[in-house]
């Protein structure tokens, strides 16, 4: 680097004919490593990630290590920033679901539901959402909670060297992805939940397949208990690691299993119910230990509770519409399977092209332009597997969102990494990060 910048943390800069060129990859890093090497012969700075199998995606951890002890830990994020919030401002409100489902890609249905709840609040149609749509939303969210927790436990286990638990977790998640594929057509990134209801109804045979899955999953869940819960190696690695007490959680805004592992049974499904959660019978599991092991136990128990809720959903599924009656909000076309895949139903095309000019105009306007949302702002929050997923949506009365902000729980919870890791062992950093369960798609958006 040609010039030494006065501020050690600032990127180094050099003047060229094209203007000032900053070097942010490596310049500051070299300085940190150099000064650390000068100060103490035992102290080194380790750069973990952004490409590292145990950092859950492109997370960069900067660890200052004295021997085996982590004295300082910092996160570098932003490697997966895709500008989803900005992009939403250039699409219709309906198209928004296609984007938000890709934020935290392991909790797609939560993103979609939270976004749709915010849009529905702006539209003032919360009361018009049909029972069947709400039940299917709950059903999919609880299946999603299972699949997200399975990935968390599976990858967390793998990072400890427990590869069996990884295979088990992904085996069971695969069954859930098969259900998604049956219901929405896609294993991930569904865009199935739409403002006003759902894109379409459950396909025939879905209920039976979900029941079959619940039966299998009830058999498989105890295997995690047998493998891990009482396993002395697993416990030795997890207990008293990544400690964060209730006061720490409140200050750092940590929610979800991290908060519940401190013994506080805070769950938005109980505290501020949405989608009719107040009518379901389930418990909010907690642990007292406030460590990685406690979070594991909370997640395991939550999976059992989710299975209970899925069964209750199946029992109360009554035939009925899955979209609000307001034709100005519902997607005008009914989808149907044609010879080239899913598309507009032939009956609908026949109607708009052959019989009704008004229906054609209506279809054209809604598909190209979208519906208008009255001006104002709304906040909707759901309890995602990782914590409080909040959506702040602002409308200026147009057909596109004026601003949508996602308060992603992974983003907020990841701030607790330093508090959990500093003063501990290097090996425990892996366990602590795994117990936060960050997904970089959600952190960076």
Partner 1 sequence: MSGENGTGGARGPGEDPERDTANLPGMRGAGGEEIRVQRGMFGANNGGDTSGYGGLVRSVRLPGASARPYGGWFDEVADELEGALEEQGLLPENALDKTVVDRGELTFHVEREHLVRVARTLRDDPALRFELCTGVSGVHYPHDTGRELHAVYHLRSLTHNRLIRLEVSAPDADPHIPSLVPVYPTNDWHERETWDFFGIVFDGHPALTRIMMPDDWQGHPQRKDYPLGGIAVEYKGAQIPAPDQRRSYS
Does residue 394 bind partner 1 (CB under 8 A)?
Answer: yes
Q: Of all helices (H) and strands (E), which one includes residue 258? A: helix 257-260
Least Å distance between CB 104 and partner 1?
15
Closest approach of partner 1 to the CB of residue 342, in Å: 20
Contact between 266 and partner 1 per CB under 8 A? yes
* The one segment of 89-97, 159-167, 234-242, 296-304 that binds partner 1 by CB under 8 A: 89-97
Work out whether 388 is an interface residue with partner 1 (CB under 8 A): yes
Q: What are phi and psi of 340, to 5 degrees?
A: -110, 25
Of 252 and 298, CB closest to partner 1 = 252
For partner 1, the binding residues in 225-254 under the rule CB under 8 A are 250-254
Tokens 């403002």 correspond to 195
Minimum distance between the CB of residue 370 and partner 1, rounded to whole angstroms? 7
User: How many angstroms separate the Cα of 423 from the Cα of each of 37, 66, 420, 441?
Assistant: 20, 10, 8, 29
* Contact call for residue 405 and partner 1 (CB under 8 A): yes
Q: Of the candidates 47, 87, 128, 344, which one interacts with partner 1 according to CB under 8 A? A: 87
Phi and psi at residue 160, in whole multiples of 5°?
Answer: -90, -5
Angle at 318 between CA 316 and CA 323, to 5 degrees: 115
- Indicate which single residue of 138, 378, 382, 420 sits in contact with partner 1 (rule: CB under 8 A): 378
Q: How far is the CB of 89 from partner 1 (least distance, A)?
A: 8
Q: How far apart are CA 438 and CA 411, in angstroms?
A: 7
How far apart CA 110 and CA 92 sit, in angstroms, is 20
Q: Are 11 and 22 in contact (CB under 8 A)?
A: yes
Q: Which stretch binds partner 1 (CB under 8 A): 189-197, 280-288, 370-378, 422-430?
A: 370-378
Residues 188, 379, 422, 426: which binds partner 1 (CB under 8 A)? 379
Widest Cα–Cα separation across the chain: 84
Q: How far is the CB of 210 from partner 1 (least distance, A)?
A: 32
Which lies closer to partner 1 via its Cβ, residue 182 or residue 394? Answer: 394
Q: Which stretch binds partner 1 (CB under 8 A): 74-82, 129-137, 227-235, 344-352?
A: 74-82
Please count the other Cβ atoms lying within 10 Å of the Cβ belonging to residue 257: 28
Rounded to the nearest 5 percent, the helix, strand and coil shares of the chain are: 50, 15, 35
d(CA 230, CA 223): 11
Write down how long the chain is.
445
Shortest Å distance, C-beta 182 to partner 1: 30
Distance set, CA 355 to CA 241, 349, 359, 439 (Å): 68, 10, 8, 50
**SS3 (DSSP) at 100:** helix
Residue 105 or 402 with smaller CB distance to partner 1: 402
Number of neighbours of residue 259 by Cβ within 10 angstroms: 27
Cβ 442 to partner 1 shortest distance, Å = 13
Sites for partner 1 among residues 120-149 (CB under 8 A): 121-122, 124
- Closest to partner 1 by CB, 116 vs 151, is 116
Report how far residue 37's alpha carbon sits from residue 315's, in angstroms, rounded to the nearest whole number. 64
Residue 287: other Cβ atoms inside 10 A? 19
Applying CB under 8 A, does 370 fall inside the site for partner 1?
A: yes
Binder among 212, 396, 423, 427 for partner 1 (CB under 8 A)? 396
- Confirm or reject binding of residue 43 to partner 1 (CB under 8 A): no
Tokens of 322: 């899955």
Q: How many residues bind partner 1 (CB under 8 A)?
A: 56
374 scored as a contact of partner 1 (CB under 8 A): yes
Q: How far is the CB of 249 from partner 1 (least distance, A)?
A: 9
Closest C-alpha to 282, from 300, 260, 256, 301: 301
Smallest distance, Å, CB 53 to partner 1?
23
Beta bridge partners of 319: none
Q: Which residues contact partner 1 (rule: CB under 8 A)?
A: 9-11, 22, 24, 77-78, 81, 83, 85-87, 89-91, 121-122, 124, 250-255, 264, 266, 271-272, 369-370, 372, 374-379, 381, 388, 390, 392, 394, 396-400, 402-403, 405, 407, 411-412, 414-415, 444
């Amino acid at each position: 680097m040609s010039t030494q910048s006065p501020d050690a943390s600032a990127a180094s800069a050099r003047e060229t004919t094209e203007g000032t060129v900053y070097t942010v990859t490596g310049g500051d890093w070299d300085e940190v490593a150099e000064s650390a090497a000068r100060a103490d012969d035992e102290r080194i700075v380790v750069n973990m990630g952004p490409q590292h199998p145990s950092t859950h995606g492109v997370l960069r951890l900067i660890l200052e290590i004295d021997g085996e002890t982590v004295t300082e830990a910092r996160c570098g994020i932003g490697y997966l920033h895709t500008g989803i919030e900005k992009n939403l401002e250039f699409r219709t409100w309906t198209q928004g679901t296609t984007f938000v489902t890709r934020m935290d890609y392991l909790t797609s249905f939560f993103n979609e539901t939270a976004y749709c709840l915010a849009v529905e609040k702006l539209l003032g149609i919360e009361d018009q959402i049909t029972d069947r749509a709400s039940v299917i939303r709950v059903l999919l969210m609880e299946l999603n909670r299972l699949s997200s927790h399975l990935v968390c436990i599976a990858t967390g286990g793998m990072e400890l060297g427990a590869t069996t638990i990884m295979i088990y977790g992904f085996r069971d998640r695969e069954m859930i992805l098969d259900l998604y594929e049956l219901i929405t057509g896609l294993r991930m990134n569904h865009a199935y939940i739409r403002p006003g209801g759902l894109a379409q109804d459950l396909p025939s045979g879905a209920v039976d397949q979900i029941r079959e899955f619940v039966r299998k999953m009830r058999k498989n869940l105890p295997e995690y208990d047998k493998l891990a819960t009482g396993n002395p190696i697993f416990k030795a690695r997890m207990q008293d690691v990544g400690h964060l007490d209730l006061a720490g959680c409140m200050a750092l805004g940590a929610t979800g299993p991290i908060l519940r592992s401190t013994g506080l049974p805070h769950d938005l499904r109980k505290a501020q119910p949405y989608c009719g959660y107040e009518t379901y019978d389930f418990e909010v599991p907690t642990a007292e230990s406030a460590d990685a092991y406690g979070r594991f136990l909370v997640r395991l128990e939550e999976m059992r509770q989710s299975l209970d809720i899925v069964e209750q959903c199946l029992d109360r599924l009554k035939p009925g519409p899955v979209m609000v009656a307001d034709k100005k909000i519902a997607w005008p076309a009914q989808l149907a399977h044609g010879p080239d895949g899913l598309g507009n139903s032939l009956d609908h095309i026949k109607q708009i092209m052959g019989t009704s000019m008004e229906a054609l105009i209506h279809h054209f306007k809604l598909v190209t332009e979208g519906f208008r949302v009255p001006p104002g702002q709304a906040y909707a929050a759901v309890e995602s597997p990782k914590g409080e997923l909040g959506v702040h949506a602002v409308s200026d009365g147009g057909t596109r969102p004026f601003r949508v902000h996602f308060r992603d729980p992974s983003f907020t919870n990841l701030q607790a990494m330093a508090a959990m890791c500093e003063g501990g062992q290097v090996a425990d950093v892996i366990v602590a990060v795994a117990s936060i369960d960050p997904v970089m798609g959600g952190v960076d958006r």
